[in-house]
Amino acid sequence: MKIKFLNKIRNNVRNFIHKNLVFLVPTLIYDNIEKITPQKLRELNVDTILLDLDNTLVPWNKKQIPNAICKYLSSLKEAGFKICIVSNALPIRVKKISEELNIPYIALAAKPSTRPLRKAIKILNSNIENTVIIGDQLFTDILAGNRLGIKTILVRPLAKFELVTSKFIRLIEKKILSYLAKKNYISSKEVKIEK
């Protein structure tokens, strides 16, 4: 009786994961943000970019954006893209960096909530169809973007050394990504791992 019950729960959990796995599939995967060219973004029909901060633009333990990424963001702005930082980090950290870059921001965003994403799209006077979110985490950035129905780009995290909790999450993310590839979820959504 007890085993039957446990099996039922296990099957329910399994079904739930399968049904929701599609929300963890990024549109594209890149090694780092600088490799995402304006041309590629235009091919995706994108003119609006929502950016994660920690480990996408800045290594999680650092206060300053690497020069190369600063230049990259300027080039995107010059090319006419609308940009907003959407970060789960504290306002004090996000504000300082956003002001240096002269880019609007939303802090304490609570991704995977879609609310801050909608708010950012509104601030930029844009729409869901032409927006992409770029971030390093499946369970926050990619999940939030897919739930809202915008395009999603996963980048590899900038810092290799992280808190123990993040390391644990990375391990699960890695397992999910290889599972997605094995089950052809990734190729079925034309996800490319661009080097």
List of residues contacting Mg ion (CB under 5 A):
52, 54-55, 136
Q: Considering the complex, what minimum distance in angstroms separates the CB of residue 111 from Mg ion?
A: 9
Q: By C-beta, is 52 or 173 nearer to Mg ion?
A: 52
Q: By C-beta, is 68 or 79 nearer to Mg ion?
A: 68
Encoded tokens for 88: 């789960």
Q: Considering the complex, what minimum distance in angstroms separates the CB of residue 55 from Mg ion?
A: 4
CA gap 67, 69 in Å, rounded: 5
CA gap 86, 150 in Å, rounded: 14
Q: Considering the complex, what minimum distance in angstroms separates the CB of residue 135 from Mg ion?
A: 5
Q: Which residues contact 56 (CB under 8 A, 6 or more apart)?
A: 33, 134, 135, 136, 141, 155, 157, 158
Name which of 145, 194, 173 is nearest 39 in CA terms: 194
Q: By C-beta, is 136 or 173 nearer to Mg ion?
A: 136
Q: By C-beta, is 94 or 191 nearer to Mg ion?
A: 94
DSSP 26: -
Q: Considering the complex, what minimum distance in angstroms separates the CB of residue 22 from Mg ion?
A: 21
